[in-house]
Amino acid sequence: QVQLVESGGGLVQAGGSLRLSCVASGRTLNSLTMGWFRQAPGKEREFVGAISWKYGTSLYGDSVKGRFTISRDNAKNTVYLQMNSLKPEDTAVYYCAADKFGRVVLGTRSSYDYWGQGTQVTVSS
């Protein structure tokens, strides 16, 4: 079993930056593929990005490519989502997710087994 806890959300002006954190417990990050998703009110949950350190691969959604970056801190078993050049359309609840099989990065929601509770990001114009 893997538990995920996100933090770091908040209110930021357009053009600003935020870094979200996701602390994982129960398994080490090396054995997992980690993903970030987001969901805006009235919309489907959208893939943001994912990374597999086992395979050395990463994948980002088109809407965030070049602005968002996923990284990790092994000592803290924590994965981060650095978000730069934020736009009002980035406003959403952001979720951290883990694929227990540690497969090559996946962009589909159904591929992930564990989810955090979400953290709200609001970007004002």
Report the DSSP beta bridge partners of residue 3.
Answer: 25
- The DSSP element (H or E) to which 78 belongs, if any, is strand 78-83
Q: pLDDT per position in the chain (125 positions), as tens?
A: 999 999 999 999 999 999 999 999 999 888 899 999 999 999 999 999 999 988 889 999 999 999 999 999 989 999 999 999 999 999 999 999 999 998 988 899 999 999 999 999 999 99
Report pLDDT for 121.
98
Report the DSSP beta bridge partners of residue 73.
Answer: 78
With contact defined as beta carbons under 8 Å apart, do 17 and 67 qualify?
no
Report pLDDT for 114.
97
